[in-house]
Structure 1
Amino acid sequence: MTSLKQFTREEVAQHNKDGDLWIIIDAKVYNLSRFADLHPGGKTVLFGDDIPGQDATEAFYGLHRHEVLERAQYARLQVGTVRGEQPAIVGRVNGALSKVPYAEPTWLSDGYHSPYYTENHKRFQRAVREFVDEHVYADAQAREADGKRPSQSVFDKMGEVNFHAMRLGPGKHLKGLTLMNGIVEPEQFDYFHELIITQEIVRTGNRGYGDGMLGGMVIGLPPVLNFGSNELKAEAGQISHPYRIVPDIFAGKKFICLAISEAHAGSDVSGIQTTAEKSPDGKEWIINGEKKWITNGHTTFFFNSFTTGCKTEDGFTVILVPRGEGVSTKPIKTSYSATAGTAYVTFENVRVPVENTLGSEGGGIFVILSNFNHERWVMCCSSARSQRLVIEEVLKWIQQRKAFGRPLSSQAVIRNKVAQMIAKAESLQAWLENMTYQMNNMTYKQQSSKLAGQLAFLKMYSTQCAQDTARDAVQIFGGRGITQTGMGRFIEHYHRTIPFDALLGGAEDVLGDLGVRQAMRAMPKNARL
C-alpha cells in the first residue's frame, strides 16, 4: 500500500468516461476502465449519477459486502489513495470483538459484567476466537460453497490443541491432556469453556459446516466413553478395530457418528427396525437394517464407527459398529450443504463382537437418554450465538442501505423487527447461562432429573426465536435475503438451514410436551387454586 500513488479528488474526477473510469471507495482510488465490461451487475451501473470519477463509497456499500474489496481480483484494481485521507471502514480482523451493539454477548461487551465468567474464561475465549478465525473461518466459507467435508488440515490443527476432546465437555476424558496450549487445566475446564467453544465455531456462519466439523462425534462418542468397556475405548485392536478409537478421534484422525434415526423411527426410538441377532456361538452380533439422516455418516474414510441403535431379543440395544464389510453409506440431499455428510447407512449382515455392546443388552434407551441433555444444550449454545450473527448483519445493513432516500433504520417498522430480534437473543443467552451454571454445580444424575424439562423448554424456545429472527431478517434484506451470494448470503443461509435446529435433538412440539410432563410430575399433590 505504501507504493501506491496519491491523487487529489480533482485528479480522480477527470477520469469519468467509458474507457477511462476511476472511482473512490473509502479514500481508495480504483481504476475500473478495463473492468467495466466485466462488472457482474452490468456496465451501466458504473455510469449512474455521481459515480464516474466521484466518491462511490455509499453506492458501493449499498450493493456489496466489504469483503469484495479484499479479494485479489478486485484489490489489484486499486491504483492509489486520496491525498490527505485515510480509509475509515475496517474489514474482518482475526480475533477481534465486534463493536456492533448486541453482536457479542454482554460478558464480552465493554463496561458489562457477569457473575459466571472468570478471567480464565476470558483468556480462553480470546485464544479460541483467534484459533477459529485463523484456522477455521476461511475453510468454512470454502467448504460450504463446494459441499465437501471440512479439510483434514483443520481437523489436524484442532487435534493439536485438543479441541475435539473439549467439545465433549468436562470429564475424565480430558485427564492428562493439554488444552488450548495450556490455557486451561483439565480439572478447571467447565461447561462455560465448552459454551465458548461452541459459540465461537458458530461465528463462521455456516450451518452445514458446523455439523460437518465432527457434529457426529459430539453425540456419537459420549455413549462409548460412558458405557463402553476400557478395552473398547483404548485397546480395541484385539476386539474389533485396527486402531485406538478414542485417542485417534480426539486427534481428528478417525471419526464416529450416532446412527439411531430411521425412516420409521425418529423421536419414537421404539419404532427402530434395524436388528441385531446373536451368532450361533453367541460371540458376535449380526446386524441388518438402514439408518437415515445420519450426520457425518457419509465420508470417504474407512475408519468410521457408528454408535448404532438396534432391536435385539432383549429390547433396544446400542452397539458400536466399525465401518467395514457389509456397511455402506449414501449421501442424502438436504436443504443445507453436503459438507455435513448427512447419509443413509445400510448394514447387511454386519458382524461385530458382542464386546462392542454399549451398556447392557436391552438397556440402550438409557445409553441414548444419558446424552440428550448435553446434545440439546449444545444446540442452544449454537442457536443463541447464531442469532447474534444475524443481528450484526441486520444492524450493519439498515445503517448502510437507503430506501426512499433514507436509511432503513429510519423506518419504525424495521426498528421494531430488530428490537424483537435483540430481545429474543438477550433473553435466550441469559437463560442459557443460567442453565450452564446449574450444570456446573450439579452431578450428572442431578442434571438428568432436574434439567431435562428446563433444557427441553430452552431448546424449544431458542429455535422458535431463531425462526422468527430468520423470517424478519429476510424481510429486512428483501431479495438479497434469498440470494446465496452477496450482501444477504448469511441471511439466506440462516433462513434456509434454521429448520434443522428446530428438528434435531427433538422437534419443538415434542420438547415442549416433554417439559410440561416433567413439570406435572413435580407438582405437589396438595396444590389447589
Structure 2
Amino acid sequence: MGVMITNGLWSDYASMAVRTGGPGPSGLSMLVVPLLNTPGVRMRRIKVGGQTSAGTTFIELDDVKVPISNLIGKEGMGMIYVMQNFNHERLSISIGVNRLSRVALSSAFEYVMKREAFGKTLMEQPVVRHRLAKCGAELEAHWAWIEQFTYMMTKLSEEEANRELGGLTALAKAQAGKVLEVCASTAVLLFGGNGYTKSGQGEIAESKFEAQSRFLGSIKCMLTNIGIYREVPGARIPGGSEDVMLDLAIRQLVKNFQRKTKELETIQERPKGSSKL
C-alpha cells in the first residue's frame, strides 16, 4: 500500500485511517503508524511544483505491524475522525492562503506607488487602481468570512460546529484558492517585467518576503510574484480539490436545509388573524 503525505520525511509516526473491519466507512479505524526504522516502511521524497519545504513524501507500507495500543479513539470511527478534522484543516488552509494573497497584493501595492511611467506613478493610473480595488474586495470579503467561521467555532459545541460549518468551511477553502489566483496574477501583471524575472527587484523581493512566508509553515516564496503564483495549485488541491469542495459544500447545505425545514414544519402553527393594525 502506498500513501502520499506532507512532512513524511521528517516524521517518526503518522496517523492513518486503515481498514480494520468490514467494507464501508464503518470498517475504518484511526491508527498511529510507526515510520522511522520500521520494517516494511519505505519513504521517498516527491518533488512538487510549489511548497518546496513541505517535504511531500510517498510512503510504501508492506505488512507493517502496528500494536493495538496505537488505536486512536474507538475502532470503526476512523472516517468520522477524518471528516471532522478536515473542517479545521480547511479553515487553517483558508487562513494561510488568505495571508499569502495579502502578501502578493500588498507587494504590488507598494511597487505601483513608486514605479513611474510616462511621468507619473502607476498608482495614478485609474486602470491600476481599479485592478487593486477588485482584488482588495475579494481578499477582504474572504477574510471577513473566515473570521466569522473562526468565531463561530469558539461559540458552538463540537457537534454543532461539525454540522453547521462543515460545508461552509469547504466553500471557504475553495474560495481561498480563487482569491489567491486573482491576487497573485494581478501582482504579476502590475510588476510587469519585474514580476517575471528571478533577478533585480524580484531578487530583492525574495529576501523581503521570506520572513513573512516562513510563518505559513510549508510555503517559501522564491520571489514575490512568480513564486506566489506558483503556489496557486498548492492552495486549490490540498485539503480537498476545488471542485470536490464546491460539491461537498452544496451537499452539506442541502442536508442542513432539509433538516431545518423539517424542524420548522414541526413548530406549532401560529394563531390566525388579520394583519391589519
TM-score, normalised on structure 1? Answer: 0.42
What residue in structure 2 maps to residue 401 of structure 1?
115
Distance 1:336-1:452 versus aligned 2 partners, 3 A rule: same
The CA deviation string for residues 54-75 of structure 1, in whole angstroms up to 9 with x for no partner, is xxxxxxxxxxxxxxxxxxxxxx
What residue in structure 2 maps to residue 369 of structure 1?
83
Distance 1:440-1:485 versus aligned 2 partners, 3 A rule: farther
1:352 aligns with 2:66: yes
The CA deviation string for residues 198-242 of structure 1, in whole angstroms up to 9 with x for no partner, is xxxxxxxxxxxxxxxxxxxxxxxxxxxxxxxxxxxxxxxxxxxxx
What pairs with 1:13-92 in structure 2 (closer than 5 Å)? Answer: none
Name the count of aligned residue pairs.
235
Higher relative contact order (CA 8 A, sep 6+): 2
Question: Quick one: which amino acid aligns to residue 310 of structure 1?
Answer: V
The answer for unaligned runs of 5 or more in structure 1 is 1-288
DSSP-derived class of the 2:53 partner: helix
Distance 1:369-1:331 versus aligned 2 partners, 3 A rule: same
Question: Quick one: which amino acid aligns to residue 501 of structure 1?
Answer: A
Q: Name the % identity.
A: 31
Give the Cα–Cα distance (whole angstroms) in 1 for the partners of residues 117 and 104 of structure 2.
Answer: 21
Residue 344 (structure 1) shift: 0.4
Choose which of 218, 228, 231 in structure 2 pairs with 1:497. Answer: 231
What residue in structure 2 maps to residue 311 of structure 1?
19
Residue 486 (structure 1) shift: 4.2
What residue in structure 1 maps to residue 167 of structure 2?
453
Q: Name which one, 1 or 2, has greater alpha-carbon Rg.
A: 1
Residue 362 (structure 1) shift: 3.1
What residue in structure 2 maps to residue 321 of structure 1?
33
Give the Cα–Cα distance (whole angstroms) in 2 for the partners of residues 331 and 484 of structure 1.
Answer: 26
What residue in structure 2 maps to residue 481 of structure 1?
195
What residue in structure 2 maps to residue 296 of structure 1?
7
Give the Cα–Cα distance (whole angstroms) in 2 for the partners of residues 425 and 475 of structure 1.
Answer: 17
What residue in structure 1 maps to residue 184 of structure 2?
470
DSSP-derived class of the 1:371 partner: helix
Give the Cα–Cα distance (whole angstroms) in 1 for the partners of residues 151 and 31 of structure 2.
Answer: 33
Residue 440 (structure 1) shift: 1.0
Question: Quick one: which amino acid aligns to residue 124 of structure 2?
Answer: S
DSSP-derived class of the 2:50 partner: coil
Distance 1:484-1:345 versus aligned 2 partners, 3 A rule: farther
The CA deviation string for residues 156-208 of structure 1, in whole angstroms up to 9 with x for no partner, is xxxxxxxxxxxxxxxxxxxxxxxxxxxxxxxxxxxxxxxxxxxxxxxxxxxxx
Contact 1:424–1:465 (CA<8 Å) still a contact in 2? yes
Give the Cα–Cα distance (whole angstroms) in 1 for the partners of residues 131 and 230 of structure 2.
Answer: 19
Contact 1:484–1:493 (CA<8 Å) still a contact in 2? no
What residue in structure 1 maps to residue 151 of structure 2?
437
Give the Cα–Cα distance (whole angstroms) in 2 for the partners of residues 443 and 483 of structure 1.
Answer: 49
Distance 1:486-1:336 versus aligned 2 partners, 3 A rule: farther
Give the Cα–Cα distance (whole angstroms) in 1 for the partners of residues 53 and 140 of structure 2.
Answer: 30
DSSP-derived class of the 2:7 partner: coil
Contact 2:8–2:57 (CA<8 Å) still a contact in 1? yes
The CA deviation string for residues 427-486 of structure 1, in whole angstroms up to 9 with x for no partner, is 111111111111111111111011112211211122211111111111111232233444
Contact 1:358–1:367 (CA<8 Å) still a contact in 2? no
